[in-house]
Amino acid sequence: MKELQSFGWYAARVAPHLPKQAFKPAPERLWAGLVHLLIVIAGILTISLTDLNVWLYVPIAVILGSSFASMGLLGHEILHGTVVRKAWIRDLTGGIAFFPLSTGPRLWRRWHNMTHHIHTQDEEKDPDAWPTIEQFAKSPLLKGIYKLPTSLRGFLGMAFLAITFTFHSLRMFKRFILEFKPNKRISVWLQLLLPWATWIGLLFLIGPLKWLFAFVIPLLMGNFIVMAYIATNHRLNPMTPVNDPLANSLTVTVPKWVDMLHFNFSYHTEHHLFPGMSSKYYPLVKAELKKRWPERYHEMPLTQALAALYKTPRIYSNQTELVDPFPGTKFGTLGHGLEPSNIKQKLTSEKTTKEKSSDSISR
């Protein structure tokens, strides 16, 4: 089977082979969220109320960062309605879970549930899609970035994962705020401002040094963990005219204890088939997908996926090829010539992307 299929097409063929319980909410997930919330509260109080040697705050900051990430990943699951279905409880618990990352539940559902999931890897409609060569030609910032040496650009790309979720969330607020009805915008603004007011207030309460360990380092670490998954979800995959999760999504593999800590967020192809299903059942979905369409299913270790991101550009020359604009070197995407274990440039005999992009850049 080579033609693209919608996520509904796959879901209709897999769903009959899954237990009925898989389609019910899993409120027991909230207990794990409560544990992480208590860890965050205890960690911040310990840093705020004690005068320990500064180096003793480092492991506390690391634990806080891990829980920041885990809470955000659980918040993602909660706001899909897979934990609780009642809307006000869903938004309350999801808002608490996303509080460390300062992302409001209304914004998240509009940006992620209603836009990204519906238009995954659509170059015009997916708010998380990476730019095309035409979009690149209009961006002075991207042009400057792609003039950097490849190794430096790759290093900076990995380092910037530590701030990307926060900045992208603010960009999405700017993009979507006017799409909310006027009577809903106040709550969206409050859901943005309340977390930031809390964290900035903490700065004045405990001082900059303790704030560094209680919030800044955990936020950077939480960003990096969350973005290590998000960056590999789709960025090695092609753009697709049909929202086909087996073509445009990637499942990564991590140790089982990491999956437990991160609520099976690694199962991303499965999530795009059944976003309303608790991720605890995604291993069953994965088994069905690999049994039926093994040649279409993409998976690899998270570390290998991150290494592939480091070695390849993030500009699409067309729906199935990535391009480094200035040297004009092209790379395939998953299912279209990209082999993460042996990444090689594509050879082209026709007019190169270098020439195409240079024409646009020189204007």
pLDDT in tens, 20-46: 999 999 999 999 999 999 999 999 999
Question: Residues 302, 284, 72, CA angle at the centre, nearest 5°?
Answer: 50
Beta bridge pairs of residue 346: 330
pLDDT at 348: 59
Mean pLDDT for the stretch of residues 256-285: 98
pLDDT at 1: 53
Confirm whether pTM is higher than 0.75.
yes
Mean pLDDT for the stretch of residues 138-146: 94
With a pLDDT cut of 70, the percent of the chain lying above it is: 95
Mean pLDDT for the stretch of residues 162-180: 98
Beta bridge pairs of residue 316: 132, 322
Mean pLDDT for the stretch of residues 263-281: 98
For residue 362, pLDDT beyond 60: no
263: left (phi over 0), alpha (psi -120 to 50) or beta: left
> Which residues, 6 or more positions from 316, have their beta carbon under 8 angstroms from its beta carbon?
123, 130, 131, 132, 133, 239, 322, 323
For residue 201, pLDDT beyond 50: yes
> Which residues, 6 or more positions from 65, have their beta carbon under 8 angstroms from its beta carbon?
217, 218, 219, 220, 221, 222, 225
pLDDT at 346: 83
Mean pLDDT for the stretch of residues 170-198: 97
Mean pLDDT for the stretch of residues 296-306: 98
- Closest-CA residue to 203 (of 192, 212, 194): 212
Query: pLDDT tier at 2 (50, 70, 90 boundaries)?
Result: confident
- Closest-CA residue to 248 (of 236, 257, 258): 236
269: left (phi over 0), alpha (psi -120 to 50) or beta: alpha
pLDDT at 357: 46
Please tell me the total number of residues recorded for the chain in this structure.
363
Mean pLDDT of the chain: 94
Least confident among 2-6, 68-72, 107-111, 180-184:
2-6
pLDDT at 353: 42
Question: d(Cα 325, Cα 133) in Å, to the nearest integer?
Answer: 8
Here the tokens at position 168 are: 């992208």
- Closest-CA residue to 227 (of 257, 260, 196, 262): 262
For residue 350, pLDDT beyond 50: no
